[in-house]
Amino acid sequence: MTEGSTDRYPISIKIIRETEKAWFIDTGDAKIWFPKSQGEVYRNKDGTHDLFGEEWIMKEKGLI
């Protein structure tokens, strides 16, 4: 896939910190900043979160 792809990949995360433009997340394997402009976060009923992002940014951040 290339930048602009509409395929979105979910991963389970914990949000550690949040700014206007990014989330600082814990994936269980790594703690990284992820730009809000490149993803969507959904809160699950059990209090966990899922982050959805396009393949190119998920690969760039080492998440897939």
**Residue 4 confidence (pLDDT):** 53
Domain that holds residue 49: 8-60
Task: Say if 3 falls within a structural domain.
Answer: no
49: in domain: yes
Element (H, E) at 57: helix 55-60
Contacts of 56 (CB under 8 A, 6+ apart): 1, 2, 3, 5
> Which residues, in sequence order, are CB contacts of 2 under 8 Å at separation 6+?
56
Residue 41 lies in a domain: yes
Q: Is the pLDDT score of 62 beyond 70?
A: yes
**Selection from 44, 1, 51, 58 nearest residue 23 by Cα:** 51
Q: Does residue 37 fall inside a structural domain?
A: yes
- Give residue 9's pLDDT: 87
The enclosing domain of 14 has a CATH number of: 2.30.30
In a domain, 2, yes or no: no
Does 1 reside within a domain? no
What is the residue whose two structure tokens read 């059990």?
A: 46
pTM of the model: 0.84
**Number of domains making up the chain:** 1
What would the pLDDT profile of 10-61 be if each residue is shown by its tens digit?
Answer: 999 999 999 999 999 999 999 999 999 999 999 999 888 999 999 999 999 9
